[in-house]
Structure 1
Amino acid sequence: MDRRDRAQQPQSWGPRNQQGSVPPPDAWSQPGQGPPPGPPYQGRTAPPPRKRHRVFFWFFLAVQILFLILVIVGASTGSGTPEECRGLTGDELELCEGANDVGTTIGVGLMIGLWIAVDFILALTYLIYRLARRQPRP
């Protein structure tokens, strides 16, 4: 018989524990530190991906609706004859109503300017947040 046809004899690597015997306490291994080596989820399925909560999106929409309501209410207060102009006639009434309209326009313009500033700050904050959570490229 050739050498390759023969079955190999098992090798003895030292004493083996018999079934039912317990190794001495000083032979016990220490618990491992950290996760086991190797790829995660080896031999098991990965957990389902978590649903992303769009908190920023809903907060942004709430801010937009709030400012839209503020602008509509601010613009609607300028309609009609203000109380300060009652009892006036002629040029004085026109002047008072014109001043009221100019004041309403300035107020609505300031609200729109504040709206733009808040949107810019929110966009900048969101951009910084996204850049901080970005995965580094290998």
Structure 2
Amino acid sequence: MVWLIVSIGSVSGTVEECRGLTGDELELCEDANDVGTAIGAGLILGLWVAVDFILGLTYLIYRLAGRQPRT
């Protein structure tokens, strides 16, 4: 979660590549930066969900393998 917050928070303001641009070019550059940030945040969240799923499935298999059979 900290990784996600830090990555989103570090993009505020005008990025280095957009300095010196004006009008529509500046707006397009900032919008492209915002889209890149959203894609990066989505990838971080997707990775987080995938790891949680794998860990949960592994724990479930471990619990089922270690339980006593019914008599």
Q: TM-score, normalised by structure 1?
A: 0.50
In 2, Cα distance between equivalents of 1:134 and 1:72: 40
Matched, 1:93 2:26: yes
Query: Which of these residues, 7, 11, 14, is aligned with residue 81 of structure 1?
Result: 14
Q: Which aligned pairs between 1:1-138 and structure 2 lie closer than 5 A?
A: 68-138=1-71
User: Which consecutive aligned stretches of 4+ in structure 1 deviate over 6 angstroms post-superposition?
Assistant: none
Give the helix-richer structure, 1 or 2: 2
* RMSD over equivalenced CA pairs, Å: 0.8
Q: Which runs of 5+ in 2 are unaligned?
A: none
Quote the Cα distance in structure 1 between the aligned partners of 2:16 and 2:45: 26
Give the distance between the partners of 2:44 and 2:20, measured in 1 at CA.
Answer: 31
Listed one character per residue, the Cα deviations across residues 41-69 of structure 1 (whole Å, up to 9, x for unaligned) are: xxxxxxxxxxxxxxxxxxxxxxxxxxx01
Q: Identity, % of aligned pairs? A: 73
Q: Which has the larger radius of gyration?
A: 1
Q: 1:86-106 deviations in whole A, cap 9, x for unaligned?
A: 111111110100000000000
The CA distance in 1 between the partners of 2:11 and 2:32, in whole Å, is: 10
Normalising by the residue count of structure 2, what TM-score does the alignment of the two structures yield? 0.94
Query: What is the total number of aligned residue pairs between the two structures?
Result: 71
Flag the structure with more relative contact order, 1 or 2, with Cα contacts below 8 A and sequence separation at least 6.
2
SS in 2 for 1:131: helix
Q: Structure 1: give runs of 5+ residues left out of the alignment.
A: 1-67
